[in-house]
Amino acid sequence: MRSRRVLGVVVAAALLTGSGIAVAGTTDDQAGVLKDERHFREQALKDYSGGNKTGSAVSMVVVGHDDLGARGFNADVWTHDGYAYVGHWGFTDWASGNDRFCPSAAASGVAVLDTRGPAHPQRVATLQNPPGTSAEDVVVYAARYGRFAGRDIAVAGIQSCSGSRYDLTAEHGLMLWDVTTPHSPLQLGYLRTACCTRGVHEFEVQHRADLGRTFAYATVPTSRYPDSETASGVRDQNGDGDFRLIDITDPTAPQQVSDWGIQDAGGPLSAGQGCDADANYGHGAEPTEDGRQVFVSYWDSGFVKLDLTDPTRPLYLGRTVYPANADGDAHSSQYDESRRLLFTADEDFCKTSGAGIEKGYGYMRVYDYAKSAAPAQIGEYRTPKLARIRRSSGRRLRDPQQLPRRHRRLLVLVLGRRARDRHEQSTRAARGRLVRTPGDDQPRQTLPAWNADEHDAGVGRGGRRGDRPHLRQRHELRPLDPPPHELMSATRGGRARLAS
């Protein structure tokens, strides 16, 4: 158990000197455990009969493998110029009174792998985060502006996982490294966010050509949850909102230039709905290609669009609205610039959410965002019926085979985290399907059916290296030739993503 946990565990009932913050006890709320982490812990603590259940795949072949020292906790993957960057996750396990869900020093850090020889990937370095933290989300990009122009920069969101969120010594924020030479990374800068949230959960990076600046579009969930123990009256000691715009043009001195919370638009904009009714939870952010606008995934408040033309003054433009019978849970999105379509994913852990709410788990939705003040849902994408897109009223989303070849898109679901190098973007996407094996009472993928909806949905975009730094290669929808009836799914152990 680390020394950083002392305030949160050993003296949990004490008043933190000089902070005006009283610690109330060892609860999930005190640790700041996020929604998906609660679910992961519940699953991890379950007992299963018949041994470990593993993933299987059809029409997919393992090319190479590195178990990263069997460290566990592996999270997001980013690829850049033949190297893979693997983040790691963690959170405080108050249920068992220890920190086993917070990576130890040997298991922490963003792993850097040389994958130029895909059959024999080799770990060559580690981007080390502070002790008692996780570095779940990672992005690598080629800097365009300032004295670091032309150099490769890695960025990771830092979240505290060692103890109480009221611990004033806890580390959380955004950390940056120079990875121009991947074998010898150099830490450049660190923006430390305020007590008393977990820190930066998800973010994307985008360049502003009009300003000659580069920004991280980040979220710090639960920042404006009410909290009687902080001076601001909300979890973030400074009162900042869940969305943060951080200037990383100079990676040695990242600066937060603005923040925004749903309250700034008169929200929460919903009373909440479904089994996890919450309209005050900003989870992810998706900037447009020019960086002037951003879509913030705000759980039951929908996908909120902000204008960032003036980076210091985010302006509310509009939001999507869930049907009354939906469970809600806006988790993440990606924007198709040419068609002005927002592809979104809901994170719904509940198969049954009570009377009046549709049964089953969340799914991908497609919104026509041509009118910022009045976006309309025009399609949806449910699993396991992978080849069908249901249509709603309004503008029609055409089937892939109806589109000209240059506009076709393939929807592929991959359970787990994977990445594809930029140089492979023109190749055909991998395809597979869930399978049953004799004697199994369920498919060999062990996670419950919520895996169909979890995490990011995206659309493929062309461009030169560095033109779209926040586009995650691991979950693009890309041009291809096969017709929709060939769409299938593929399995691996881990979370689900719409992937290449």
What's the pLDDT tens digit per position in 386-427?
A: 333 333 333 333 333 333 333 333 333 333 333 333 333 333
Mean of the pLDDT values across residues 271-290? 94
Higher pLDDT, 59 or 80: 80
CA distance linking residue 288 with residue 110, whole number of Å = 27
Q: What is the pLDDT of residues 182-203, one digit of tens each?
A: 999 999 999 999 999 999 999 9
- Does residue 302 have a pLDDT over 90? yes
Distance CA 248, CA 139 (A): 12
Encoded amino acid at 179, one letter: V
Contact 477, 458 (CB under 8 A): yes
12, pLDDT greater than 70: no
- Both tokens of 57, joined, read 């795949």
Q: In the predicted model, is pLDDT for residue 29 greater than 70?
A: no
Mean pLDDT value across the chain = 74
Q: Is the pLDDT of residue 463 over 50?
A: no
Percent of the chain scoring above 90 in pLDDT:
53
237 — phi, psi (to 5°)? -60, -30
Q: Which of 4, 17, 26, 217 lies closest to 102 in space, CA to CA?
A: 4
For residue 378 the two structure tokens come to 């025009």
Confidence of residue 36 (pLDDT cuts 50, 70, 90): confident
Distance CA(427)–CA(479), nearest Å, equals 9
Please answer whether residues 133 and 192 qualify as being in contact, where contact means their C-beta atoms are separated by less than 8 angstroms.
no
Q: How far apart are CA 103 and CA 118, in angstroms?
A: 27
Percent of the chain whose pLDDT exceeds 70 = 66
Which tokens go with 147?
Answer: 């004295």
Distances (CA, A) of 20 to 157, 404, 445: 27, 62, 47
| pLDDT for the residue 200 | 98
Q: Tell me, what's the pLDDT at 52?
A: 56
List pLDDT tens digits, range 98-115. 566 888 888 899 999 999
Pairing verdict, β 315-319 and 21-22: unpaired
Q: Would you state the pLDDT for residue 379?
A: 94
pLDDT at 348 over 90: no
pTM: 0.74
Classify burial at 294, counting beta carbons within 10 Å of its beta carbon; exposed 0-12, middle 13-18, buried 19 or more.
Answer: buried
Which residues 6+ apart lie within 8 Å of 440 measured at CB?
A: none
